Amino acid sequence: MWTRDKGPTPGFVEQARQLTEARAVFGWLRDGSQTVQQQALRDFDQARRNFFAGSHHRPTWRKAGRREGFRIVGPQAGRVEQVSRKWARVLVPKVGWVRFRVSRALPESRSYRITRDRVGRWHIAFAAVPDPIPAPGNGAVVGVDRGVTVSAALSTGELLNCPRLSESERRRLVHLQRRLARAQRGSNRRKRVKAAIAKLHARAADRRKDWVEKTSTDFARRFDVIRVEDLRVPQMTRRPKPKPDPAKAGSYLPNRRRAKAGLNRGILNNGWGLLVQRLEHKAAGRVEKITAAYTSQTCSRCGHCAPGNRENQAFRCQSCGHSDHADLNAAINIAAGRAVSARRDKPVRMSVKREPQLTTST
């Protein structure tokens, strides 16, 4: 809401003060929990900071049904009781005791967040940073090549695939999307079809996250050093720039946007960014990022580097004749840290106060 002539906009402290004033005037505002409202302002403050720091996009408006949730902090967050081995309950301000299913041991925590996803599932996540997984101490170094056809190729020879929707689930998704296109806006049928689509997407996301969590834990336990390509996923998955036609002003040449969209889907589906992010949490200080250039064109045996070495999924060295699976060859190069200036990443520093992001279902 900032404009040049209005002067500075209120920050978090001023907003919190205004909130107290507003609560005194409006009954409907008083009916809600002050902590929840204050924390929403704090979230907004953080979003704005991130935007001005250049690491995130501009904050967007909140929308019903999308990323719904709230946070409780302070003494109010301490009212949690384990009821049985599998169940616990929490006193949510203005709501009362709410039972929830425990998916892991309840941590010592001073804040929690309750969220509701697009499919209507409620989750509670307690803010606690778990200890990193200790290194096995066997000196093992692994290179991980992340790809679209094979989600992760390891220099040990393993090819790992992130589970996706099955053939029949994908067919059903296409079918539902067609029905959605035909459904009338605002109709009940449209709502139902939309919910069914969201359910399928949520299922795919759950599988992906589950795979990422299991795989990253497995890597952190088995290897001392994990080398990955330094890929910039947000930049890579950006949509291509429009290509102006030099012959005709105002018109554009094909820029293969649909093809790029397909590749983007492949990259995002495979959870590239998330895998490395979780690895950095779990194997803090043991993840090394290697410049991605030429890892797929260089022979892992003799070091010969030429674009002609690679033919789709097969690697064949034009110099020594060595042949291998293309992704495995790349993984071995990454493990060797070849073609590159390897830099040791500092362990991810995380403030104890900062709330860890919810990455798995609770």
Piece of 121-129, 187-195, 264-272, 297-305 that binds Zn ion (CB under 5 A): 297-305
Q: Indicate whether 304 belongs to the interface with Zn ion (CB under 5 A).
A: yes
Among candidate residues 43, 117, 145, 280, the one labeled active-site is 145
Angle 176-181-185 from CA coordinates, rounded to 5°:
115
Q: By C-beta, is 222 or 316 nearer to Zn ion?
A: 316
Report 63-82 residues binding Zn ion (CB under 5 A). none
Tokens of 190: 């449209």
Q: Which is nearer to Zn ion, 50 or 323 (CB)?
A: 323
348, 121 contact by CB (below 8 A):
no
Let me know the angle formed at the C-alpha of 270 by 269 and 273, rounded to the nearest 5 degrees: 105
Position 326 contacts Zn ion (CB under 5 A)? no
- Selected range binding Zn ion among 52-60, 104-112, 202-210, 302-310, rule: CB under 5 A: 302-310
Q: How far is the CB of 302 from Zn ion (least distance, A)?
A: 3
Contact flag: residue 279 with Zn ion (CB under 5 A): no
Q: How far is it, in rounded angstroms, from Cα 320 to Cα 317?
A: 6
- 241 Cβ partners below 8 Å, 6+ apart? 255
What b/e readout covers 226-245, taking b as 16+ CB neighbours within 10 angstroms?
bbbbbeebeeebeeeeeeee
From candidates 320, 344, 350, 354, binder to Zn ion by CB under 5 A = 320
* 24 lies in the site for Zn ion, by CB under 5 A: no
Only segment of 82-90, 106-114, 140-148, 313-321 that touches Zn ion (CB under 5 A): 313-321
Catalytic option among 280, 288, 327, 355 = 327
| Residue 322 interacting with Zn ion (CB under 5 A) | yes
Asked if 302 interacts with Zn ion (CB under 5 A), we say yes
- List the one residue from 299, 334, 336, 339 that touches Zn ion (CB under 5 A): 299
Q: How far is the CB of 124 from Zn ion (least distance, A)?
A: 54
Q: Count the residues of the shown chain that bind Zn ion, applying the rule CB under 5 A.
A: 8
The answer to whether residues 8 and 15 touch, using CB atoms and an 8 Å cutoff, is no
Kindly tell me which of 89 and 310 has the beta carbon lying closer to Zn ion.
310
Query: Which of 229, 280, 288, 324 does the annotation list as catalytic?
Result: 229
Residues 6+ positions from 277 with CB-CB distance below 8 Å: none
Q: How far is the CB of 309 from Zn ion (least distance, A)?
A: 8
Residue 6 and residue 348: Cα distance in Å, rounded? 39
The yes-or-no answer on residue 206 being catalytic is: no
Catalytic-residue membership of 167: no
Q: Are strands 80-82 and 122-126 parallel, antiparallel or unpaired?
A: unpaired
Place of tokens 């012959």: 247
- Tell me what percent of the chain is helix, strand and coil, each rounded to the nearest 5: 40, 20, 45
**Does residue 317 bind Zn ion (CB under 5 A)?**
yes
Beta strands in 68-196 (DSSP E): 68-73, 80-82, 87-92, 96-101, 111-116, 122-126, 141-146, 152-154, 159-160
Q: Which is nearer to Zn ion, 143 or 271 (CB)?
A: 143
The answer to whether residue 229 is catalytic is: yes
Cβ closest to Zn ion, residue 123 vs residue 301: 301
* Class of residue 5 by CB neighbours under 10 A (exposed 0-12, middle 13-18, buried 19+): exposed
Q: Which is nearer to Zn ion, 18 or 313 (CB)?
A: 313
**Quick check: 190 binds Zn ion (CB under 5 A)?**
no
Closest distance to Zn ion from the beta carbon of 336 (Å): 13
As a whole number of angstroms, the longest Cα–Cα distance in the chain is: 80
Just list the catalytic residues. 145, 229, 327
Binding site for Zn ion (CB under 5 A): 299, 301-302, 304, 317, 319-320, 322
